[in-house]
Chains A and B, each alone.
Chain A
Amino acid sequence: MKIEIKNLTKTYSGRFKALDSVNLTITDGMFGLLGPNGAGKSTLIRILVTLMQPTSGQVLLDGKDISGYRKEIRKMVGYLPQDFRFFAKLRSWEFLDYAARLAGMNSKRERGARVDEMLESVGLYEFRNRMANKLSGGMKRRLGIAQALIASPSIIIVDEPTTGLDPEERIRFRNLLSDLGRSETIIILSTHIVGDISSTCNQMALLNEGTLIYHGTPDHLVDQAKGFVWRAEISQEKYDSLKSEVPIISTIPSGGGWEIQFVGDKPAGVEAVKVDPNLEHAYVHYMDNKLEHWNLK
């Protein structure tokens, strides 16, 4: 299965360009969509799940334009929106049952079995009779992913799924998605949290202000930041002057000064050692240095 996004542009109210000629190909596996808030990720996702029409351009699924096959696409997609909450007056199992019915699962027995299975797999079976709005934030997110998966979709799209979750819930959620990524499905994970991508995705895209600025593997993105990540121990006075020159991504108090990590070219007069970059470093490197280089900043 292959999703091809061709010259996709979305303009709101004839002025603001949320997406600007985005070209992208997504194949089976986990695909990470990374970018700061307002980068256009949610707009792209809403177009992919047929909730929004692009101003121009196309999205093709296995060569077919999705705007002409909305019913078929909607049958294939499981979607968890960014700010999703629940019908307050439905129990957890009822909410999943409703989602299953809307997805076309008409057999009551089959549906009941699937609801129980999904509740088990997201660890909510013992809370099946609890009202959905009485669940904790992490549980709600898990219930949200369960409703997205209820009809065994071949395309799963989750928008900012880990926002607001505690670390334990976040790890649990990532693992859940990684398990799904092993099957022949496309999973698109949109997030502004770099850690979500680095631990789960084998392909990724970086969006900024509606423009696609990177498309490839997370490792390749990390490679490009090699030689640009530094660690240094500096005084308070040096720290004050340095923070206006380079993006500092970690600061730990050390003696009378700071142990810092920063991204970019090493400024003159600073004693620093190179550090192996991770995806977070690479992201900062891209967003700061590359955009400046391309006059996009």
Chain B
Amino acid sequence: MNLINIWNVATYESKTLFRSWFFRIFAIMALLILFGINMGVFGGHTNARWTFRAIAANLPYINVLFINVAQAIIAVFLASDFLKRDKKLDTTEVIYARPITNGEYVVGKTLGILVLFIGLVLMALAMTLIFNLIRKDVPVVWVAYLYYPLLITIPTLVFILGLSFFMMILFRSQAVTFLVLLGYIGLTLFYFQDKLYGMLDYMAFNLPMVYSDFIGFADSRLILLHRLTYLLLGTGFIFATIRFLNRLPQTGRWNSLNLFGFIGFVSAGLFVGALYFNSYRDVAADREAYLELNNQYVGRHVIDVVSNNLQVEQHGKSLLITSGMQVQNQNSTRFDHALPAQQQVGPLLIGNSPGESIPRRDIKTLFQVDLKHGVEYRVIF
């Protein structure tokens, strides 16, 4: 592939797209709505929606997430409109008769749309940053401004653009493509949601992606697997579009490689998707285990935690946490063992015996307090 040819196509595709009223109205509307949301949630002296501000990275997260959903829908129109417009105006013949490969043309078109949409996201983030800087009680988490566009915007756009192009090639009808893809988007937003662990949610609308200043993402591996799935599938569909484009290929050799690219990337996407699915299933199995474990202790005595003094020491890559807990039995009867109330059942504060680290699914018992001897439990994780 000749990068200059790709750049040339991308430059002019984004130029024509940028000048279209459809895109301009969409961009202005999206930015205005985002401005309104930011004013309502993050602006002024309002204390409303403090939960959004409690985690600083939510500012870029909410903005990117909102514009991502809007872009994902608009991209379907633009992608299919591009191919339709070319056909309608017979302009393809002039371009197709030029010495560029099918790959350069399709990749150039895709990049042209991508560049423009990413530019729009950057504008939205710049606006968010201004709100962020004004809002003194919400620190700027700079990495979040990088992570969210990379993890949300790019995989979503590559996937939906690739899919839209491919559908247009497949159905050869803009109306059918709209119907199928808008139906799919509607199902994603209102029906699939977190079904199958959010596997079908290509916009990452239901994927837990809150970024903490302290621990980062809750599970960055799962997020990466999910987003990589759609990036790979989208790339595969772009290869399919190149392969099945209604234009005689410049050379037969490259055309065969495009078929391999299509099969390879879609297979890789499905494989990574399977990894995500299995990993998430493990997490879900842990949750089931915790629930089951909790249920076993439903009838046990519960005592109140009066105070809990946690001391955290770092030892290389480990943390040693010592909990000095004062509990009070407010029940009318005496007993030797009891569960501290509000005990969080998770992988962190669970142990069978002092100093023991336990694999999550091997949890057999909840942390109990020996009321007779006042044992200090220590958990290493």
Contact of A102 with B95 at beta-carbon distance under 8 Å, contacts A51-B248, A52-B248, A89-B15 already known:
yes
Q: Is the CB of B97 within 8 A of A77?
A: yes
Contact of A70 with B94 at beta-carbon distance under 8 Å, contacts A87-B16, A94-B15, A102-B100 already known:
no
Cα distance, A88 to B250, chains bound together (Å): 28
Question: Is B298 engaged at the interface, CB distance under 8 Å to the other chain?
Answer: no
Distance between B371 CB and nearest chain A CB, rounded to angstroms: 78
Task: Write the chain B residue with the least CB distance to A85.
Answer: B89
Q: Of A50, A85, A104, which is within 8 A of B90 by CB?
A: A85
In this complex, which of B4, B94, B251 has the most chain A Cβ atoms within 10 angstroms of its Cβ? B94
Secondary structure type dominating chain A contacts: loop
Cα distance, A99 to B15, chains bound together (Å): 14
Q: Is the CB of A84 within 8 A of B95?
A: no
Contact of A83 with B8 at beta-carbon distance under 8 Å, contacts A74-B98, A89-B20 already known:
no
Q: Is the CB of B15 within 8 A of A90?
A: yes
Q: Of B16, B93, B95, which is within 8 A of A89 by CB?
A: B16
Question: Is A81 engaged at the interface, CB distance under 8 Å to the other chain?
Answer: yes
Chain A residue contacts of B94, Cβ below 8 A: 79-81, 84, 99, 147
Task: Write the chain A residue with the least CB distance to B95.
Answer: A102
CB-contacts of B229-268 with A (<8 A):
247-251
Q: Quick one: CB contact mask for A101-145 with B, threshold 8 Å, 1 for yes?
A: 111101000000000000000000000000000000000000000
Q: Of B15, B19, B99, which is within 8 A of A103 by CB?
A: B99
Cα distance, A106 to B249, chains bound together (Å): 22
Q: Quick one: CB contact mask for B66-92 with A, threshold 8 Å, 1 for yes?
A: 000000000000000000000001110
Contact of A71 with B93 at beta-carbon distance under 8 Å, contacts A89-B15, A89-B16 already known:
no
Q: Of A87, A104, A106, which is within 8 A of B99 by CB?
A: A104
Q: Is the CB of B19 within 8 A of A51?
A: no
Question: Is A242 engaged at the interface, CB distance under 8 Å to the other chain?
Answer: no
Task: Write the chain B residue with the least CB distance to A70.
Answer: B250
Question: Is B96 engaged at the interface, CB distance under 8 Å to the other chain?
Answer: yes
In this complex, which of B95, B100, B248 has the most chain A Cβ atoms within 10 angstroms of its Cβ? B248
Distance between A228 CB and nearest chain B CB, rounded to angstroms: 39
Chain A residue contacts of B93, Cβ below 8 A: 46, 49, 51, 79, 81, 84
Q: Is the CB of B99 within 8 A of A74?
A: yes
Distance between A187 CB and nearest chain B CB, rounded to angstroms: 15
Task: Write the chain B residue with the least CB distance to A49.
Answer: B97
Q: Is the CB of A102 within 8 A of B19?
A: no
Task: Write the chain B residue with the least CB distance to A47.
Answer: B248
Question: Is B322 engaged at the interface, CB distance under 8 Å to the other chain?
Answer: no
Question: Is B5 engaged at the interface, CB distance under 8 Å to the other chain?
Answer: yes
**Nearest 8 pairs of A and B residues by beta carbon:** A89-B19, A102-B98, A101-B8, A74-B99, A81-B93, A79-B97, A85-B89, A89-B16
